[in-house]
């Protein structure tokens, strides 16, 4: 029998794997750079060069770029910087992976430590965590009706289904020009830089994705002229950029994670030919998932008097949106300086990185616990070490309401730093205030019986003949009008008409008058 079918587009996790690499490398200071006296700060940036998927595994090849800010071992004790590259190659086990699969890879640099071997040689150590997963798009076929059904009765079920419309990664470029204030000297060399995202919001437009927020830009620089003190600039630049996305529609639901990718700062001359401008080029990495929520009428069962119709059913797993929400939490913490650290005179710059350590699923929703890892660059009272860095953490926990969560739910949770304020209580104690935004997208999985085909068979005529032509029936607990109609080879409409029912709703104790219908012509 011909049936109408609808394609339901789903996205499912095929496999995932995590691997950790310990990187360790000694490297020389470039000849153009002064001797190293004391290391102030170091940072690591991963640049992935190649990903290869083979049977049961994925191989990641890239480099860890280590940036070092240090105090030179010279009479002037000036600030300098250098960069080195540490290559790596790692194979991650992914059971079920096949050549040609599209892999999604995330990484995190942990425990980066750079130490001085001698004034011309440094040692770098880091732990790199690589998390890979492969997701596959699948199509579920569900029957939605019968063309020209005629006398065939159809039992329909309404299903709220979340369908995957698009999944991809893309980049958004943001450019900003910063002009030095009139009281700042010209730039000779950039020594250190940092760009952080704040308060990013994503909005869907027809054919486009819009991202808006702020970029907090910091750079430390060596000014022109001899014996000039090291200078720094910190500024907040708003941005609003759009990315072309043909699959995007305003009516769709989105789960988009935005993170800072590669960025660069370059000195530019102003109209007078002086180095008083800096151009910041930032690449925002977008992990995009677009969904459509749709009410679908699914064919659940069929019946007609005089013929036996047997649905061939296949159980499929579908999804519905349980909750999309953004929760904001505030947290405060203090950090005291150790006696070995130089005293603080002035804070130059603070950086915060959000790390969600644990997510606990409860019947009321999600409970997230984590930390904001804070690094504070400051001016010291020690002329021999004019700059230093203090590290601290701000613990946080937040409940994100999602009524009805259980083991059948899956979720994505992104933590972002909306605001970080660092202030001196005194020369030895620092107060850190963080405002963390947690974006949650919770999906509930549930089984649904999808009719694939309908087999037609002749009725058991002996059973039909044994049925009385007219029957009085008292409704029992759990009965439905559909079940009773099938049992007595009649229709719901016939029972309603003969029993004087205005609707198909029945309750235990109701008395029904049933007349058998035998009709071989459908």
pLDDT digit string, tens, across residues 444-459: 988 999 999 998 887 7
Phi, psi dihedral angles at 497 (to 5 degrees): -65, -45
Query: What's the average model confidence in pLDDT over 195-203?
Result: 94
Count H helices, E strands: the chain?
A: 3, 20
Query: What's the average model confidence in pLDDT over 496-511?
Result: 90
CA-based end-to-end distance of the chain: 12
Confidence class of residue 521 from pLDDT cuts 50, 70 and 90?
Answer: very low
Share of the chain above pLDDT 90, in %: 70
Contact between residue 309 and residue 456 where contact means Cβ atoms under 8 Å apart? yes
Instruction: Residue 323: count other Cβ atoms within 10 Å of its Cβ.
Output: 19
pLDDT at 520: 38
Confidence class of residue 149 from pLDDT cuts 50, 70 and 90?
Answer: low
* pLDDT greater than 90 at residue 41: yes
Average pLDDT, the chain: 91
Phi, psi dihedral angles at 217 (to 5 degrees): -110, 130
> Collapsing DSSP states into helix, strand and coil, what is residue 283?
strand
DSSP code, position 462: H
Pick from 145-149, 334-338, 399-403: least confident: 145-149
* pLDDT greater than 60 at residue 522: no
pLDDT at 405: 87
* pLDDT greater than 80 at residue 1: no
pLDDT at 518: 66
* pLDDT greater than 50 at residue 519: no
pLDDT at 263: 94
pLDDT digit string, tens, across residues 228-286: 789 999 999 999 999 999 999 999 999 999 999 999 999 999 989 998 999 999 999 99
């Amino acid at each position: 029998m011909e049936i109408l079918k609808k394609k339901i587009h789903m996205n499912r996790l095929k496999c995932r794997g995590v691997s950790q690499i310990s990187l360790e490398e000694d490297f020389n200071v470039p000849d153009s750079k002064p001797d190293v006296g004391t290391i102030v700060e170091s940072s690591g940036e991963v640049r992935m060069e190649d990903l290869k998927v083979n049977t049961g595994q994925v191989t990641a090849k890239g480099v860890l770029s280590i940036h070092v800010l240090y105090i030179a071992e010279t009479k002037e004790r000036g600030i300098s910087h250098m960069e080195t590259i540490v290559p790596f190659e790692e194979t991650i086990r992914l059971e079920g992976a096949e050549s040609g699969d599209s892999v999604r890879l995330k990484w995190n640099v942990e425990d980066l430590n750079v130490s001085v071997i001698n004034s011309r040689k440094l040692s770098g150590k880091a732990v790199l965590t690589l998390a890979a997963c492969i997701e596959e798009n699948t199509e579920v076929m569900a029957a939605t009706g019968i063309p020209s059904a005629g006398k065939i009765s159809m039992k329909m079920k309404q299903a709220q289904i979340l369908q995957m419309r698009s999944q991809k990664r893309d980049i958004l470029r943001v450019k900003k020009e910063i002009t030095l204030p009139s009281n700042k000297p010209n730039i000779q060399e950039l020594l250190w830089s940092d760009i952080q995202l704040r308060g990013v919001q994503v909005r869907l437009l027809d054919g486009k994705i819009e991202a808006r927020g702020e970029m907090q830009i910091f750079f430390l620089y060596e000014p022109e002229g001899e014996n000039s003190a090291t200078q720094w600039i910190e500024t907040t630049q708003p941005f609003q950029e759009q990315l072309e996305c043909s699959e995007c529609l305003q009516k769709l639901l989105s789960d988009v994670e935005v993170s800072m990718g590669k960025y660069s700062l370059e000195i530019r001359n102003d109209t007078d030919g002086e180095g008083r401008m800096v151009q910041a080029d930032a690449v925002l990495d977008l992990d995009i998932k677009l969904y459509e929520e749709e009410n679908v009428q699914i064919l659940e069962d069929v019946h007609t008097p005089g013929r036996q119709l047997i649905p061939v059913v296949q159980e499929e797993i579908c999804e519905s949106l349980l909750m999309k929400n953004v929760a904001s939490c505030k947290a405060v913490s203090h950090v005291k300086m150790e006696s070995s650290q130089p005293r603080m005179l002035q804070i130059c710059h603070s950086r915060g990185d959000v790390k969600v350590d644990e997510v606990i699923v409860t019947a009321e929703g999600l409970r997230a616990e984590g930390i904001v890892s804070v690094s504070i660059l400051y001016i010291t009272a020690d002329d021999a070490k004019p700059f230093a860095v203090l590290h601290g953490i701000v613990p946080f926990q937040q409940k994100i309401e999602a009524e009805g969560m259980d083991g059948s739910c899956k979720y994505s949770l992104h933590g972002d730093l909306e605001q970080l304020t660092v202030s001196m209580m005194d020369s030895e104690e620092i107060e850190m205030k963080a405002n963390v935004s947690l974006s949650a997208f919770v999906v509930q999985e549930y089984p649904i019986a999808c009719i694939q085909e309908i087999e037609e068979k002749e009725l058991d005529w002996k059973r039909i003949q044994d049925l009385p032509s007219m029957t009085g029936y008292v409704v029992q607990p759990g009965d439905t009008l559909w079940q009773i109609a099938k049992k007595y080879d009649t229709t719901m409409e016939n029972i309603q008409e003969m029993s004087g029912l205005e609707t198909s709703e029945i309750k235990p104790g109701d008395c029904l008058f049933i007349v058998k219908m035998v009709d071989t012509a459908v």
